[in-house]
Structures are given as C-alpha cells and as structure tokens.
Amino acid sequence: MAPSFLILLFVLCVRDTSADGESCRAYENRTAQIGRTRGLKAATVTEEVLVLELRDCRLDLPLMGFPPHADYVILTNVTFGTDISWPDVLPSEIAKELRIEDSKFEDERILRKLFVNNIGVLSILRSGLSVLPVFNATSECLTRKANFSGNSIGTVTEEAFNVLYARCKFLEDLDLTRNSIRKFPKFAAQNVSKCKLHLENNPLSCTDNDHLTLNQRTRDMLIRTPHCEKDGKLVQFWFHDSPICARCSCYIHSDIYVNCSGRGLDSLPAGLPRETTHLDVSVNQLTSLRIPEESHWREYNAIKHLNASHNPITSIDDYSPHICNLMMLDVSSASLTALPQSLVDELLNTSRCVPLLSVGRLLLGHNPWRCDCDLLPFKRFLGERAREIVDFFTVQCDKRGEEVYTVQEETLCPPPFYELNPWDVAIVTMTILITLMIYKTIRDYYIQKHTGKLPKFFKVRLHAIKSRDFRDKN
C-alpha cells in the first residue's frame, strides 16, 4: 500500500508595496508532510494531495510561480483583477475543488472564461456575485457540486442555469442559497434526477415560481423549498392554498411537514397541503382517526409519519384505508383498549403493509389495553411484530399493569368452564317441566273454551270410562 501522506503546498502572499493591493504570488518552496486528514475532508488520503491556498491578496497579472497542478485551490479574501486568465491560476484546468471565498471580482465577466468541465467541486461563496455566471462548460462536464451560497445573485438566466444543470451530467448539488433570487427561470427537469437544487434563503416570490412546485420532477430537486412569511409579502408558496396552515405550522424540510400538535383539534384536519408526508396531531382531543370526508382521503395518501399520541383515541380502525402507507404511527398515550381482528389482519398482511412492517415504527404504549378475550388478536400482533413496536415494554394491561405480551393467553381468555353441578341440573329440569305444564294448561283452557272439546287427556280417560260402562252393561 502506498504511504499515505499529504504534501501541503503553502502558498503565501508577499507584501508588494509597489501595487495598491498586495499581489498574490505562489511559492512552492515550503513543502510539508502533514497528517492524513488535516484540513481536507474530500482528499483521497492514499495519494499525494496538493493544496494551493491563497489568501488576503490581489490576483492580477502577472502571476508568478504557480504550480502546474493542484488538487485543491482555495482562494480566500482575494481580489480578482479584470484581466486575470484562469489558466494562470489553474494551469491544468483540472482540480478536485476550486473554492473562492469572501473574495471580490472587479469584473464578474471573467468567470465566463472559467472552464469548469474538470473541476469536481466549484464553490464561489460570499463573493458578491450579482448574476449566476455563464461558465464555460461542454457536455463532457464532470462537475459534481456547484455552490454559490451567500452571494448577491439576483439574476439567474436560463442559459447560466442550463450550462451547469444540463451540461454537467454528474451534478449532484447546485447550491444557490442566501442570494437575492426573486424569480427562478423555468427549466425542463431532465434526467439528472439526482441533482439537488438548493434555494433556501432567497426572497423567491410566491407567484412567480409556481413551476418550481407544480412540476413533480422539479419539486423533487428542491431541497427545503424557501419559506415565505405570513406577512403577505411572501407566503410559503407550497402552502399558499392550504387553509390548515393558518392554524397549524407547515414547513418543508425535504419532506412536507404539518404540525398540528396542541391545536385543540377534535378530528383529523382536512385541507392538508399537497403531498404532506409528516402529520403531527399529538396532544389534541381526537377520539378516532377518521378522516373528515371522503373527498379529503387523497390528502392522506402521502402521509408516512403520523403522530397521534396524547389524544383520547379509542379506535384507529377508521384510518385503515391508509394505514399501510405509513412508516411511523404513534398512538401512544391514547385510550386504546384493543385492536380488532380485521385491523390486525390488515397490519399483518405482508403483501400490503410492506413499509410499516419492514422499516416502520409503531408506538402503542401507555394505552389502557383491556386484557380480556378481545385482546387476543392484538397480542398475536405484538408477538409477530415486536421489532417494529418501539415502545413494546410500555404496552401494558390497563388494570394489572402487566406487559400485554407476557400475559398468558389462557389467563387473557380462559376456556369455557363446564362442570356439571347436580343441583343446577335439577333446577334446570324442574324449570323446563314447570314451563311445559303451564303451557299445556293454558293451551287446553283455550281449546276447551273455543271448541268445547275436552283436552285429549280427558278424552282418553272419558273413552276408557265409557268402554268400561259398556263392558259393565254387558
């Protein structure tokens, strides 16, 4: 294995009083071996890594003594003159990273000449750019990251955006955070699906940027869609048509969150923002997880995390059409006493409830589980799904305080108990006989009243008497 060491090329600025600023001059004569990772996060530590660092100086012609190649070029607090040529700074035009920080460009247009194809990470941070530069790049561009955070970029032209976005096929991040962008150009979200577009902290107007949110592919690229304030000037444009966001707090953090915790709700809210993924309705007065009306069911399709803890919920069956979409369900500290068999069947159906059962989390503790026969399905569920139930050990019987899982099935639901007691048999027999007698008496009474005929029993007796008389006469 090759020895792992870094060669750090210190490049100093020499005070050169002849110019108005200090000129950046590169020195190669201080070479030092330093530890493996010092100062470098992205360095391939098994290779020699050359770092060119310049700070607090003015970059102007003529440039002297720059090394023919550096892996990392880090320029801090550097003033770029109007006529510098990039090949002087980056002679090979290849670098793992070019980072320009807290610097100044006397003419931003020099960046048009920067050939970025072979710069892995291109960062121009806090350097007062007012427009996103149209860089020189071809379709072979290999740039993975482009970061222009903290400038004053107000204009992003479609051309400038597309140079990076469409030509640099490996682009993973385009960071335009902390700028002054009000309107982002319309663009065709293409196959570079892994490219993430960072736009936080820009005064993006809510009306001009619908294309960022309406198009699913575009939206997927957005990391933390900027928040618009409620003061009317800027509304969180993702949420501007969701009335519930006036009552609850809605925000985007890659996923879409609606926090209705402690808002005095007595049912699940209607009118959720599109594709809400996280809904927190904890600490409210919900008694079930019924979705208000069928017309609002769709809003619940994308919910993956539902926190309904600390509610007087007695049943969660109402949520069953959507329950298998969830990856997290917190119904702890509620008023659940049992889960019905049908719901348990649904939850245990591996062909349906895949996410919840494979990587999901369930919280069911601190409920007054009623440990009787009705709890059997739930107990079996606990047995099969112990891994997903995060608060397994707080799933306890209401009265006994015993863990539901450890309660014996026989004690939960004792088998029917048949031991014949002679007295019970006697009492039951007597009751049946007496009932029959009363019935016979009443029936006979009515028959005699209506037909005048004597009941059969007497008829037989009468007949017997008659035949005896007949015999006696003979």
Among 209, 225, 307, 367, binds ligand NAG (CB under 6 A): 307
Show contacts with ligand NAG in window 190-219 (CB under 6 A). 190-191, 198
d(Cα 282, Cα 330) in Å, to the nearest integer? 9
Kindly indicate which of the ranges 279-287, 292-300, 432-440, 450-458 contains the residues binding ligand NAG, using the contact rule CB under 6 A: 279-287
Contact call for residue 351 and ligand NAG (CB under 6 A): yes
Using CB under 6 A, which of the segments 50-58, 238-246, 264-272, 444-452 binds ligand NAG? 50-58
Measured distance CA(328)–CA(442) in Å, rounded: 67
Report the residue number, 283 or 338, with the smaller CB distance to ligand NAG: 283
Specify the stretch interacting with ligand NAG by CB under 6 A; choose among 55-63, 154-162, 214-222, 365-373.
Answer: 55-63
Smaller CB separation from ligand NAG, 5 or 115: 115
- Tell me if 53 contacts ligand NAG by CB under 6 A: no
Alpha-carbon distance of 239 to 271, in angstroms, equals: 10
Helices (H), 138-269: 158-167, 210-214, 216-221, 244-247
3-state helix, strand, coil in the chain (%, to 5): 30, 20, 55
Q: Does 57 bind ligand NAG (CB under 6 A)?
A: yes
Provide, rounded to whole angstroms, the least separation between the CB of residue 154 and ligand NAG.
Answer: 19
Which positions ≥6 away from 201 have C-beta within 8 Å?
A: 177, 178, 179, 226
Tokens linked to 13 = 């600025």
Do 23 and 58 meet the contact criterion of CB atoms below 8 Å apart?
yes
Among 113, 399, 443, 456, binds ligand NAG (CB under 6 A): 113
- Partnered with residue 6 across adjacent β-strands are 34
Which of these ranges, 3-11, 345-353, 369-377, 398-406, lies near ligand NAG under the rule CB under 6 A?
345-353
Q: Which is nearer to ligand NAG, 141 or 407 (CB)?
A: 141
Among 38, 194, 352, 466, binds ligand NAG (CB under 6 A): 352
- Of 81 and 371, nearer to ligand NAG (C-beta) is 81
162 binds ligand NAG (CB under 6 A): no
Q: Which of 69, 118, 128, 149 binds ligand NAG (CB under 6 A)?
A: 149
Whether 144 contacts 166, CB under 8 Å: no
125 near ligand NAG, judged by CB under 6 A: yes
Retrieve residue 417's tokens.
Answer: 């108990």
In terms of CB distance, is 21 or 128 closer to ligand NAG? Answer: 21
By CB under 6 A, tell whether 310 contacts ligand NAG. Answer: yes
Q: Please report whether residue 306 would count as binding ligand NAG according to CB under 6 A.
A: no
Choice between 71 and 280, CB closer to ligand NAG: 280
Of 24 and 228, which has the nearer Cβ to ligand NAG? 24
Min dist. Cβ of residue 436 to ligand NAG (A): 49
- In whole angstroms, give the CA distance from residue 385 to residue 377: 12
Annotate 109-164 with DSSP letters as a single string: GGGGG-B-TTEEEEEEESS--SB----B--TT----EEE-TTS---B--HHHHHHH
DSSP structural state of residue 414 = P
Q: Does residue number 444 form part of the binding site for ligand NAG (CB under 6 A)?
A: no
Region near ligand NAG per CB under 6 A, out of 152-160, 303-311, 415-423, 457-465: 303-311
Under rule CB under 6 A, residue 104 binds ligand NAG: no
**Interface pick for ligand NAG out of 35, 243, 262, 355 (rule CB under 6 A):** 262
283 binds ligand NAG (CB under 6 A): yes
Cβ proximity to ligand NAG: between 147 and 152 the closer is 147
Q: Does 173 bind ligand NAG (CB under 6 A)?
A: yes
402: Cβ–Cβ under 8 A, 6 or more apart, which residues? 371, 396
Closest CA to 370 of 379, 359, 362: 379
Q: What tokens were used for 276? A: 């809400």
Q: How far does CA 258 lie from the centroid of its chain?
A: 11
CB of 296 to ligand NAG, least distance (A): 21
Q: Do residues 277 and 299 touch, judged by C-beta distance below 8 A? A: no
Size of the site for ligand NAG (CB under 6 A): 35
Least spacing, CB of residue 110 vs ligand NAG, in Å: 11
Q: What are phi and psi of 53, to 5 degrees?
A: -125, 130
Query: Is residue 21 close enough to count as binding ligand NAG by CB under 6 A?
Result: yes
Distance CA 317, CA 412 (A): 22
Nearer to ligand NAG, 309 or 407 (CB): 309
CB count within 10 Å of CB 352 equals: 13
Give SS3 for 383.
Answer: helix
Question: CB within 8 A of 225, min separation 6: which ones?
Answer: 199, 200, 212, 213, 219, 236, 237, 238, 252
- CA–CA separation, 51 and 75 (whole Å): 11
Smallest separation (angstroms) from ligand NAG to the CB of 315: 19
The site for ligand NAG (CB under 6 A) is made up of 21-22, 27, 29, 56-58, 77, 93, 113, 115, 125, 136, 147, 149, 173, 175, 190-191, 198, 259, 261-262, 280, 282-283, 307, 309-310, 330, 345, 349, 351-352, 363
